[in-house]
Amino acid sequence: MFFDPLATLRTHRLPVTAQRLAVLRAVHSNPHATAEHIASVATQDLGSISKQSVYDTLTTMVERGVLRKIQPVGSVALYENRVGDNHHHVVCRSCGAVGDVDCAVGYRPCLTASHTHGFVIDEADVSYWGTCATCAKNRKTAVKRKTNTKTTPKQKTTTKKRKVTT
C-alpha cells in the first residue's frame, strides 16, 4: 500500500509542516513506537525537532484521526497510522513487542457486551497477550543450553588449621 504523508495531512485538513511530515513518516516506518522513539527518528529526519513539538504533533494527529494511540497495560503510549478499521493487537509479555491482529471473525462472544449499562457501544478494544516468536525461541535456546551444560559435582574443600606456636 502506497503511503503519501503529504496527502494524508491534506485529507485531514492539517497544515503541512516539516515537523508533521517527519512525525508521520516516523510513525509509518515504526508502527507501535513510543513518542520518544518517534522523536528520535524525526530528529534524524529533520536534524532538529523538540520533544514538545513531537508530543503536540502526535496529540493533534490522534485527535484528527490521522494516528491511533494505544496503551497496552503496563506500557507507555504507542502510536500507529493504521486507523479507520477495527483491528486489535497482540502483545508479548516478555519484551513488549506489539503486532496488529485483524478483527476476530466468526462467533465473537467477547465483542458483544452482556449489558450495555446504557452506553451506545461503538468499539471493542481487544488485546491478545502471549510470547512473541523471538522470545519463545530465546527461551527454548536458554533451556536447551542449560540442559546440555555438563555439571560437575562440587569439590569438597577443606581448610586445615595450622597450629601456631610461639
Residue 143 has what pLDDT? 66
Residue 147 has what pLDDT? 64
DSSP 33: B
pLDDT tens, residue by residue, 73-108: 888 999 999 998 878 899 999 999 999 998 767 666
Exposed/middle/buried for residue 14 (C-beta within 10 Å: 0-12, 13-18, 19+): middle
Residue 94 has what pLDDT? 92
CA atoms within 13 A on the CB side of 13: 2
Q: Which fold has domain 85-144?
A: Dna Ligase; domain 1 (3.30.1490)
Residue 1 has what pLDDT? 63
DSSP string, 69-121: EE--TTS--EEES--SS--EEEEETTT--EEEEPPP-S--GGGS-S--TT---
38 three-state secondary structure: helix
Residue 160 has what pLDDT? 46
The helix (H) or strand (E) run that includes residue 59 is helix 51-63
Q: What is the pTM of this model?
A: 0.76
Phi and psi (nearest 5°) for 147? Answer: -75, -25
Residue 43 has what pLDDT? 97
159 three-state secondary structure: coil
Task: Please state the domain extents for the chain.
Answer: 1-84, 85-144
Residue 107 has what pLDDT? 66
> In whole angstroms, how far apart are CA 160 and each of 105, 146, 153, 163?
74, 35, 22, 9
Whether the Cβ atoms of residue 83 and residue 41 lie closer than 8 Å to each other: no
Which regions of the chain are under pLDDT 50? 152, 155-166
Q: Which CATH architecture has domain 1-84?
A: Orthogonal Bundle (1.10)
DSSP 17: -
